[in-house]
Amino acid sequence: MSNIKKVVLAYSGGLDTSIILKWLQDQYGCEVVTFTADIGQGEEVEPARAKAQAMGVKEIYIEDLREEYVRDFVFPMFRANTIYEGEYLLGTSIARPLIAKRLVEIANATGADAISHGATGKGNDQVRFELGAYALKPDVKVIAPWREWDLTSREKLMAYAKEHNIPVDFAKAGKKSPYSMDANLLHISYEGGVLEDPWCEPEEDMWRWSVSPEKAPDKPTYIELEFKFGDVVAIDGKPMSPATVMELLNKIGGANGIGRDDIVENRYVGMKSRGAYETPGGTILLKAHRAIESLTLDREVAHLKDELMPRYASLIYNGYWWSPERKMLQTMIDASQETVNGQVRLKLYKGGVSVVGRKSVSDSLFDEKIATFEDDAGAYNQKDAEGFIKLNALRMRIAARKRHR
């Protein structure tokens, strides 16, 4: 007899999580609390309420977390110019710690004994959800049905749904989607189908958010981003909230064919995985943030950030957002952003993002009087360079003399 009386389930209302809901009720004989988050996936979340009610769920949480997601997770990550393995902008990875946080908070509020998710035993998401949950609630019980049940194929899932009268659109569900997709305000990801062969080019009709660069407008689009403490606060002079910033950048970027990527990445569980991603807003944001930092950050601070970024990226990819080491790095990163203020002008054209201007009235470290190729009126003494060069060459000169004796 299970001692689990109540479980909080991360619930989308789709086929998999609807089956999980019923499976939890039957397998554990427990009450299920559903939690559905709107983090900008572009689909209505309210229909999940009716589906959960039809399955006897009494406590239903449906929450708009878009602003919190971008403000407290996406923007802090971009302050570090974070990229995993040189290409991946971590759109799925950075959403998981927020969902884990709310699962734990709802479990505490409802007196639940456990939390549950629909991540499979092959992927990274199981690790991200559970590491986050354990960091926030050390003794939490986690139920991962994909690691327990024998419903190992879509056919078995469909049969289970029919057998238990689970409210699913069988006509729609019976048509196997060629891709496994995950979307939020930062990106949309695609896995499976033809993508399981790394040699196959993604089909053009797979992409949802962006036009192909070939079909993008023949005239470039110019935009201006304003940064305050490393975060975008306005576009083209119009103040915007974090979520609306990402919504608009996604729209503009997608219309210009920006943000498509096709990569093979190393999952934390050990296997390589091929995925395609659309991250139009994030691609623009990364380019702009590096541009404003180039103007406002001290050289050694900027270089230190770049050295630490791969470690920071791995922490997020592998699910350690709530770890003490990520928090420590975040404190350092956030401190570096105090002077990252100003404007960046960008040109978007057929899949490309070019920086065409940057300025910071109060925090620019660019001194035109020193950097000029014209007469600097004594602002920089070029004779100083001779001693600087000789001192830096001293160890090599000594070694060269030794070798040539």
Nearest one of 17, 83, 135 to 310, comparing CA atoms: 83
d(C-alpha 301, C-alpha 308), whole Å: 11
Please confirm, yes or no, whether 375 is among the known catalytic residues: no
Same domain, 157 and 238: no
Q: Indicate if 13 and 157 belong to the same structural domain.
A: yes
Q: What CATH number is attached to the domain comprising 53?
A: 3.40.50.620
Question: Which amino acid is present at 16?
Answer: D
Of the listed 12, 16, 18, 326, which one is catalytic? 16
3-state secondary structure of 81: coil
pLDDT profile of the chain (405 residues), mean per 10: 88 92 95 97 90 95 98 98 97 98 98 96 96 98 96 87 78 62 96 95 95 97 98 98 98 98 96 97 98 98 98 98 98 98 98 98 95 92 95 96 85
User: DSSP for 146-201?
Assistant: GGT----SHHHHHHHHHHTT----HHHHTS--SSEEEE-SS-EEEESGGGGSTTSP
Strand 31-38 and strand 6-10: pairing? parallel
Angle at 40 between CA 99 and CA 51, to 5 degrees: 70
Catalytic (active site) residue 376: no
Tell whether 313 is covered by a domain: no
pLDDT value at position 177?
59
Rounded distance, CA 31 to CA 20, Å?
Answer: 13
H/E element, 394 = helix 384-403
- Please pick, among 49, 71, 72, 180, the residue that the annotation labels catalytic: 180
Per the CB < 8 A criterion, the answer to whether 37 and 102 are in contact is yes
End position of a domain, from candidates 176, 192, 218: 176
Q: Looking at residue 230, which CATH number applies to its domain? A: 3.90.1260.10
Q: Would you say residue 323 lies in a domain?
A: no
Give kind and range of the element (H or E) at residue 252.
helix 242-255
Calpha distance 270→266 (Å, rounded): 7
Residue 261, classed as helix, strand or coil, is: strand
Per-residue pLDDT at 152: 83
Who contacts 88 (Cβ-Cβ below 8 Å, separation ≥6)?
Answer: 261, 263, 265, 277, 317
Assess whether 12 and 147 both reside in one domain: yes
Whether 70 is covered by a domain: the verdict is: no
Same structural domain, 189 and 274: yes
Give the 3-state secondary structure of residue 93: helix
Fill in the DSSP letter of residue 256.
T
Tally of CA atoms within 13 A in the half-sphere of 112 that contains its CB: 28
Residue 171, pLDDT score: 47
CA dihedral defined by 45, 46, 51, 52, rounded to 10 degrees?
Answer: 90
What is the tally of helices (H) and strands (E) in the chain?
14, 14
Question: Collapsing DSSP states into helix, strand and coil, what is residue 61?
Answer: strand
Task: For residue 125, indicate whether it is catalytic.
Answer: yes
> 169 in a domain, yes or no?
yes
Q: Estimate to the nearest angstrom the gap between the alpha carbon of 309 and the chain centroid.
A: 14
Selecting among 66, 79, 96, 102, the annotated active-site residue is: 96
Q: Report helix, strand or coil for 221.
A: strand
Residues 164 and 24 in one domain: yes
- Cβ neighbours around 179 below 10 Å, total: 17
Compute, in degrees rounded to 10, the torsion defined by CA atoms 299, 305, 306, 307: 110
Residue 262 lies in a domain: yes
Residues 38, 113, 125, 231: which is the catalytic one?
125
The span from the CA of 47 to the CA of 62, in Å, is 10
Residues 155 and 196 in one domain: no
Q: What are phi and psi of 227, to 5 degrees?
A: -110, 140
| One domain for residues 250 and 376 | no
| 196 and 168 both lie in a single domain | no
Judge whether 327 lies within some domain.
no
Q: Does one domain contain both 12 and 145?
A: yes
Task: Reply yes or no on whether 336 is catalytic.
Answer: no
Q: How far is CA 30 from CA 4, 23, 100, 141, 350, in A?
A: 6, 10, 21, 14, 53
Residue where a domain stops, chosen among 159, 176, 193: 176
Residues 230 and 106 in one domain: no
Owning domain of residue 25 = 6-65+90-176
User: In the chain, how many domains are there?
Assistant: 3
Q: Are 268 and 318 in contact (CB under 8 A)?
A: yes
For residue 10, what pLDDT is reported?
98
Tell whether 329 is covered by a domain: no
User: Are the C-beta atoms of residues 80 and 309 closer than 8 Å to each other?
Assistant: yes
Sheet holding 238-239, edge to edge: 238-239, 231-235, 221-228, 342-349, 352-359
Residue 314 within any structural domain of the chain? no
Q: Which two tokens stand for residue 312?
A: 């920071």
CA distance linking residue 333 with residue 301, whole number of Å = 10
**Does 125 lie in the same domain as 196?**
no
Return the DSSP state at 114: E
193 shares a domain with 170: no
| Nearest alpha carbon to residue 113 among 220, 214, 31 | 31
